[in-house]
Amino acid sequence: MALTADQQDLLDRIHRVLHGDAEVEAAWLGGSLGCGAGDAFSDVDVVVLVGGGAATIVGRRYGQDVSRIAEPALVTTLFGGRVQSVVTLDWRRFDLSFVEAGELGRFDADRLTPLFNRGERSPPRGHTPPYQTTPETVLALVDEFLRILGLLVVGVGREEYVLGLAGADIMRRLTVDLMLEENGVGPVERGGALRRNPLLTAQQRRELASLAPVSADRGGIITASVSLAAIFLPRARRLATRIGAAWPEAFEAATRRHLEERLGLVLE
């Protein structure tokens, strides 16, 4: 997809400032826009190569004077200065990620769009093999889902229904993450947290959309937990079987028994 006028203007501003900086050797448009998968709502992510082992110093310098690119409303400095995440006064968003030559190997040139390069150093170009989930990844999701599900007893017992909303949200997120693993969508391909529809199947989206809004009361929290478990657990078990992961039978049985004994809940 072609960049919008606002995205292109912001990218031009970033390009002009970086190109005029003698400490910057090269820059690439990254993120979803860099690999052609962005949309009108995507932020502008730029990978900046700094020579001489000074990526942190240069990154911090930009964090202190982002106004050379655009007037900021918010600047968030991450990883000691290596990443500057900016929201401008007109609510455009961009990230500058400062790297050194030895770190280029963790990028794929096929997922970047070159802006300029004063040297010869670039990320390697090569086919990225399709993402495949692992038993460890799937079982980590299952264990965490069962743990949060079991904590329903605590939330209901203490009548902490507002906190119960957070628990339901965690289980919903774990369900989405499981679906992405099921679809073979790895962390790199997922991009930002605000873009999921294109990565899920129509059937998966229907299942998630069928979930009722969660109310901060006993019935609402219990209904949300049971509904999410009905989606998550069968899917997780099928995926675990397909990839040869050993299902945590004892933990699931203990969690089901705990919910039945303490809350009278019998999961499907």
Could you tell me which CATH number the domain at 5-117 has? Answer: 3.30.460.10
Residues 6+ apart with CB under 8 A from 81: 56, 57, 59, 60, 63, 98
> What is the predicted pLDDT for the residue at 127?
66
- Mean pLDDT for 195-211 is 92
Q: Do the two domains 5-117 and 135-263 of this chain adopt the same fold?
A: no
Other CB atoms within 10 Å distance of the CB of residue 254: 13
**Residue bearing tokens 């794929």:** 108
Residues 147-196: tens digit of each pLDDT:
999 999 999 999 999 999 999 999 999 999 999 999 998 887 777 777 78
> In this structure, what DSSP letter does residue 163 have?
H
Cα distances (angstroms) measured from residue 220 to each of 206, 208, 223: 20, 16, 5
Q: What is the pLDDT of residues 213-249, one digit of tens each?
A: 999 999 999 999 999 999 999 999 999 999 999 999 9
Q: Domain boundaries in the chain?
A: 5-117, 135-263
- The pLDDT score that the predictor gives to residue 142 is 98
Average pLDDT over the chain, rounded to an integer: 94
CATH number for 135-263 (one of 1.10.10, 1.10.3470, 1.20.120, 1.10.3680): it is 1.20.120
Task: Give the global pTM.
Answer: 0.81
Task: Kindly tell me if the per-residue pLDDT of 69 is higher than 90.
Answer: yes
